[in-house]
């Protein structure tokens, strides 16, 4: 029986050899695989010709797939050959980006350097982005002048940070855009192509099925393990825009390879189960826009912007072999040397950087090396974290594979997709983007408003799909982070995308942005920081502090000490803030003290300052989540400080904090000036890794939620400043890590507070919980040091709330802490009996007069959150992770598990610490007492709750 492909794990690989065939000499290499993820019988795959190049990088343990193989049976064994029309794919579940294939063709070291250092905030990049946006606008039929004006305005901040003027940039963009417009006017884009016209209304149907043009087309290849966004596709053929010049008749080779990669993925979509190589378009176009801007009296050669080239099987297979080389290197986080490709180092604009990085990291490089390597402990640190981050990247790639490995229903059950949406409309917005609307089913998922998602017509891989931004999830029920529950229970879902489609499905988009920025932060920390800054991070000296006598907070000794420590820190300070200890207030006061500068008594008398820094620091205020950043801004505002700039997207910033948000569009000088002149700049640590804040310098970085951040994630903020303050609680939720490599699981905060306890202060007085509620957490997680700040806090009861009487509660709920065992059984990740009992418990508190807004329910699984939410639509229900940082007067915790605690979710006791410390006046634990008693910690918790 002929098969269209065979796939398996490599168990043996022979040395390549040369043999004589009827067609002459040919290289071959035999690879033995076990199909079906090692469960099948050993099978021989023979690589012929140029495919043997990949044999040099294939290792045992890797997975390979062969499409359209030649088959034969030999001595009872089915054998397969890769030659002719067959295609070999190495590590097919690792999706290589097309731009990475292009970089590898230029030089494998360039591919590696791009991972480490990212993209600089440079004029060619900013201008190129604007030109690409104008290109998309012109394809949609927009007026050239309007498109340039709007896109230059949209890039106002980026332009301003480069010290450029809008008119100057508009002129440069116009020179490039004229090449695009002239090409389109030559008849390349016609009415029969489905081109948009000015007369089109905003509801026009511009779907790929009816239009020959697509702009910024998202492509994901299941077969070849590739992904990317083609600049444009016309009549099924790729068109790539390049803002450089090329006076030769042929496109540059690396540019041809990029367009060819898109052609291969387009062929896959067209071929179905057939040969993608045969179905691929035979022509690609490169549009070099700078050709239109050069002086023809000074340049010779072919100055036509558009350069077409032929695409054949040889070029298509070369793309796959190059992609295989990258996937094989990433299998074990290898580092390329540059010898893997025919790179010309002497002509490379990255040569100096390549040599410097190679020298500093003691790496082999075709370009050579300069400089002295960093100390061995720094090399070990770099290698360890580089490997861990790449393991995290591979975990992200496994999520890509689930787009086709799982059914839509499985994706939805795993909270990774919203399916069965019903399209209800689409509208073209100002600027050319589209608003897509659909009605949902009320299902829950990990998708949140503001997320970047994959929107599709039902199939995100072979169907019509676009990267989209979630603007609204129906009448989304409130979440724990904003006093609600996070379940999309109502009607309309709204997203915005570059192109229109019938919105039938949303998938979580497995973005590599986080891993990219972690690598950039690692690079900056090890290679760009001064030796003095690194000495303290690597334990070569102790952190230093200046004595600060000024009193900043007069009614809480630990809070005051935390501010003093931060103000006096020469290197770093650490603030351990357990639940409810006034961490946010302390942080706000700390920022004010840093900005205002501190004085000794003698300085206050003389009016002079001995330390120039006492003139006031420029402060970067950061945190893991947008919620925490906005809470800090609110605390600063409450203390009367408003000289703040908030960097973030409109959807990511709380509505009442929008007034501080930095506009990225508008007059370049005004946009940049507002950022550059701000004394306090606030942003998430992820945003700190972006190009905007990488242009800024700070005296002090203050980072909240530091216990939840990976070490490189924290470095993204701290490397922007001369010194830093980390604030967090390593006894609450740790960093979220998807891979099995545990290197990233320990935060920088935890590492430093263990290594330098004298550099830290623990806030030990909490203002949230009644004495009985806080007792277990204090004893189990804080060595008994956590205590109520006042007698009033310790003695608080539900009766203190207006209209509430605990006498109306059932006797079992009248104590501050209660345990309820409802019986029932776990069904998957739900426990319906437990959900029913929780609904009854909440009803009892409501009958006693407790408002619904004062009650929260925490469950370990999203499925149980959904189960409970069906019964309690007006009450905050959420997972432990999303409840961190929130609190309620009454908290009810669902444990779901019965019989045993065999889920990994129960293994980290820090999760239960978070759950138990959300309650102020009443806490109810609902679960199987016998199951919980099988674990010592949970057993002690049940004994405490039962009194």
Model confidence over 404-432: pLDDT tens digits?
Answer: 999 999 999 888 999 999 999 999 887 77
On the question of pLDDT at 567 being above 70, the answer is: yes
State the Cα–Cα distance between residues 245 and 248, nearest whole angstrom. 9
Kind and range of the H or E run holding 564: helix 557-568
Res. 76 pLDDT band, cuts 50 70 90: low
On the question of pLDDT at 359 being above 50, the answer is: yes
Res 709: pLDDT: 97
Res 19: pLDDT: 87
The mean pLDDT value for 576-586 works out to: 97
Res 624: pLDDT: 95
State the Cα–Cα distance between residues 585 and 496, nearest whole angstrom. 37
Res 39: pLDDT: 80
Res 381: pLDDT: 97
DSSP string, 31-58: EEEEETTTTS--EEEEEEGGGGGGGGT-
State the Cα–Cα distance between residues 108 and 343, nearest whole angstrom. 8
Higher pLDDT, 643 or 202: 643
Res. 185 pLDDT band, cuts 50 70 90: confident
Res 490: pLDDT: 47
Residue spans of beta strands (DSSP E) within 441-547: 452-456, 465-473, 478-479, 484-485, 492-497, 505-508
Res 399: pLDDT: 92
State the Cα–Cα distance between residues 259 and 241, nearest whole angstrom. 10
Res 295: pLDDT: 57
State the Cα–Cα distance between residues 548 and 670, nearest whole angstrom. 38
Res 300: pLDDT: 60
Res. 642 pLDDT band, cuts 50 70 90: very high
In the chain, the percentage of residues whose pLDDT exceeds 70 is 92
Environment class of 543 (CB within 10 Å of its CB; exposed 0-12, middle 13-18, buried 19+) = buried
Res 298: pLDDT: 56
On the question of pLDDT at 712 being above 60, the answer is: yes
Higher pLDDT, 273 or 88: 88
State the Cα–Cα distance between residues 15 and 36, nearest whole angstrom. 25
On the question of pLDDT at 213 being above 60, the answer is: yes
Res 189: pLDDT: 41
On the question of pLDDT at 315 being above 90, the answer is: yes
**What pLDDT, in 10s, does the model give residues 11-25?**
999 998 988 877 788
Q: Which of 58-72, 593-607, 644-658, 837-851 has the lowest mean pLDDT?
A: 593-607
Which tokens in the block code for residue 725? 């303050």
Res 247: pLDDT: 86
DSSP string, 672-687: HHHHHT-SEEEEEHHH
What stretches of 816-902 show up as alpha helix (H) in DSSP? 832-847, 862-871, 880-883
The mean pLDDT value for 210-236 works out to: 87
What stretches of 107-242 show up as alpha helix (H) in DSSP? 108-117, 123-139, 144-154, 156-161, 166-183
Higher pLDDT, 832 or 198: 832
Res. 368 pLDDT band, cuts 50 70 90: very high
On the question of pLDDT at 195 being above 60, the answer is: no
Res 297: pLDDT: 54
Res 615: pLDDT: 67
Higher pLDDT, 433 or 494: 494
Rg (CA), the chain: 30
Res 199: pLDDT: 32
**What pLDDT, in 10s, does the model give residues 484-523?**
444 434 478 999 998 899 999 999 998 899 999 999 999 9
The mean pLDDT value for 513-539 works out to: 94
Q: Which of 212-216, 318-322, 423-427 has the lowest mean pLDDT?
A: 212-216
**What pLDDT, in 10s, does the model give residues 749-803?**
999 999 999 999 999 999 999 999 999 999 999 999 999 999 999 999 999 999 9
On the question of pLDDT at 196 being above 60, the answer is: no
Res 204: pLDDT: 34
Average pLDDT value over all residues in the chain: 89
Q: Smallest Cα–Cα separation from 217: which of 196, 240, 195, 198?
A: 240
Res 544: pLDDT: 96
Res 612: pLDDT: 40
The mean pLDDT value for 547-558 works out to: 96
Environment class of 551 (CB within 10 Å of its CB; exposed 0-12, middle 13-18, buried 19+) = exposed
Res 444: pLDDT: 76
State the Cα–Cα distance between residues 504 and 413, nearest whole angstrom. 17
Dihedral over Cα of 746, 750, 752, 755: its sign: negative
Res. 186 pLDDT band, cuts 50 70 90: low
Taking phi over 0 as left and psi of -120 to 50 as alpha, with beta for the rest, 194 belongs to left
Res 882: pLDDT: 85
On the question of pLDDT at 193 being above 60, the answer is: no
Res 198: pLDDT: 33
Res 21: pLDDT: 78
On the question of pLDDT at 597 being above 50, the answer is: yes
Res 296: pLDDT: 56
């Amino acid at each position: 029986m002929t098969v269209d492909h065979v796939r398996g794990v490599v168990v043996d690989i022979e040395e390549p050899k040369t043999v004589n065939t009827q067609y002459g000499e040919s290289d071959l290499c035999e690879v033995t695989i076990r199909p079906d993820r090692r469960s099948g019988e050993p099978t021989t795959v023979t690589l012929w010709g140029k495919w043997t190049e990949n044999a040099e990088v294939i290792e045992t343990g890797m997975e390979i797939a062969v499409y359209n193989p030649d088959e034969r049976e030999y001595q009872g064994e089915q054998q397969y050959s890769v030659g002719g029309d067959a295609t070999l794919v190495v590590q097919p579940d690792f999706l290589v980006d097309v731009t990475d294939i292009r970089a590898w063709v230029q030089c494998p070291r360039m591919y590696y350097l791009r991972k480490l250092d990212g993209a600089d905030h440079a004029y060619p990049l900013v201008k190129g982005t604007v030109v690409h946006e104008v290109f998309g606008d012109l394809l949609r039929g927009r007026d050239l002048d309007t498109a340039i004006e709007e896109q230059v305005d949209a890039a106002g901040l980026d332009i301003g940070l480069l010290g450029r003027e809008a008119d100057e940039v508009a002129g440069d963009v116009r020179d490039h855009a004229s090449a695009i417009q002239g090409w389109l006017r030559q008849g390349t884009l016609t009415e029969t192509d489905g081109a948009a016209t000015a007369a089109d209304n905003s509801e026009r149907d511009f779907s790929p099925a009816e239009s020959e043009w697509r702009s910024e087309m998202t492509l994901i290849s299941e077969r070849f393990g590739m992904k990317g966004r083609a600049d444009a596709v016309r009549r099924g053929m790729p068109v790539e825009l390049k803002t450089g010049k090329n006076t030769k008749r042929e496109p540059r080779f690396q540019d041809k390879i990029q367009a060819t990669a898109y052609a291969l993925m387009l062929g896959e979509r067209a071929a179905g189960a057939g040969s993608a190589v045969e179905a691929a378009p035979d022509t690609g176009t490169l549009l070099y826009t700078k050709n239109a801007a050069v002086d023809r009296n000074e340049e010779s050669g072919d100055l036509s912007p558009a350069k077409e080239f032929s695409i054949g099987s040889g070029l298509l297979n070369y793309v796959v072999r190059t992609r295989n080389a990258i996937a094989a290197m990433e299998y074990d986080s290898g580092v390329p040397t540059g010898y893997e490709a025919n790179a010309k180092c002497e002509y490379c604009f990255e040569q100096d950087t390549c040599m410097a990085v190679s020298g500093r990291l003691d790496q082999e490089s075709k370009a050579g090396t300069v400089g002295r390597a960093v100390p061995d402990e720094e090399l070990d640190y770099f290698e360890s974290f580089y490997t861990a981050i790449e393991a995290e990247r591979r975990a992200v790639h496994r999520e890509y594979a689930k787009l086709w490995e799982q059914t839509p229903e499985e994706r939805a059950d795993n909270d990774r997709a919203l399916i069965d949406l019903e399209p209800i409309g689409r509208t073209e917005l100002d600027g050319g983007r589209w608003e897509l609307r659909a009605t949902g089913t009320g299902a829950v998922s990990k998708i949140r408003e503001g997320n970047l998602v994959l929107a599709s017509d039902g199939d995100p891989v072979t169907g019509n799909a676009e990267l989209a931004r979630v603007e609204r999830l129906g009448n989304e029920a409130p979440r724990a982070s904003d006093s609600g529950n996070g379940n999309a229970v109502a009607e309309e879902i709204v997203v915005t995308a570059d192109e229109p489609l019938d919105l039938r499905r949303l998938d979580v988009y497995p973005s590599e942005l986080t891993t990219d920025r972690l690598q950039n932060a690692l690079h900056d920390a090890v290679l760009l920081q001064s030796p003095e800054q690194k000495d303290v991070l690597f334990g070569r000296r102790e952190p230093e502090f200046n004595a600060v006598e000024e009193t900043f907070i007069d009614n809480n000794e630990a809070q005051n000490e935390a501010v003093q420590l931060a103000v006096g820190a020469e290197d770093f300070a650490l603030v351990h803030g357990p639940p409810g200890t006034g961490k946010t207030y302390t942080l706000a006061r700390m920022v004010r003290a840093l900005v205002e500068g501190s004085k000794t008594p003698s300085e206050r008398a003389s009016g002079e300052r001995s330390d120039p820094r006492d003139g006031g620091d420029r402060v970067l205020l950061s945190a893991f989540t947008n919620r925490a950043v906005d809470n800090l801004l609110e605390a600063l505002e409450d203390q009367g400080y408003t000289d703040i700039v908030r960097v973030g997207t409109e959807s990511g910033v709380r509505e009442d904090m929008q007034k501080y948000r930095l506009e990225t569009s508008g007059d370049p000088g005004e946009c940049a000036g507002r950022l550059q002149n701000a004394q306090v700049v606030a942003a998430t640590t992820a945003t700190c890794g972006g190009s905007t804040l990488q242009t800024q310098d700070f005296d002090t970085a203050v980072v909240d939620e530091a216990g939840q951040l990976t070490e490189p994630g924290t470095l993204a903020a701290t490397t922007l400043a001369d010194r830093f303050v980390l604030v967090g609680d390593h006894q609450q939720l740790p960093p979220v890590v998807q891979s099995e490599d545990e290197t990233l699981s320990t935060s920088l905060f935890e590492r430093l507070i263990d290594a330098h306890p004298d550099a830290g202060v623990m806030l030990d007085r909490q203002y949230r919980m009644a004495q009985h509620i806080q007792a277990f957490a204090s004893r189990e997680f804080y060595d008994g040091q956590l205590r109520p700040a006042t007698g009033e806090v310790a003695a608080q009861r539900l009766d203190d709330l207006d209209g509430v009487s605990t006498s109306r509660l059932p006797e079992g709920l009248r104590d501050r802490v209660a345990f309820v065992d409802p019986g029932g059984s776990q069904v998957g990740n739900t426990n319906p009996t437990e959900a029913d009992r929780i609904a009854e418990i909440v009803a009892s508190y409501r009958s006693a007069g407790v408002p619904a807004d004062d009650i929260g329910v925490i469950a370990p699984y999203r499925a149980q959150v959904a189960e409970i939410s069906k019964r309690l639509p007006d009450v905050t229900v959420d997972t432990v992770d999303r409840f961190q940082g929130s609190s309620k007067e009454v908290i009810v915790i669902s444990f779901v598990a019965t019989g045993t605690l065999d889920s990994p979710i129960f293994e980290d006791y820090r999760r239960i610490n978070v759950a138990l410390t959300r309650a102020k006046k009443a806490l109810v634990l609902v679960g199987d007492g016998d199951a919980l008693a099988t674990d010592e910690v949970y057993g002690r918790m049940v004994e405490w709750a039962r009194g």
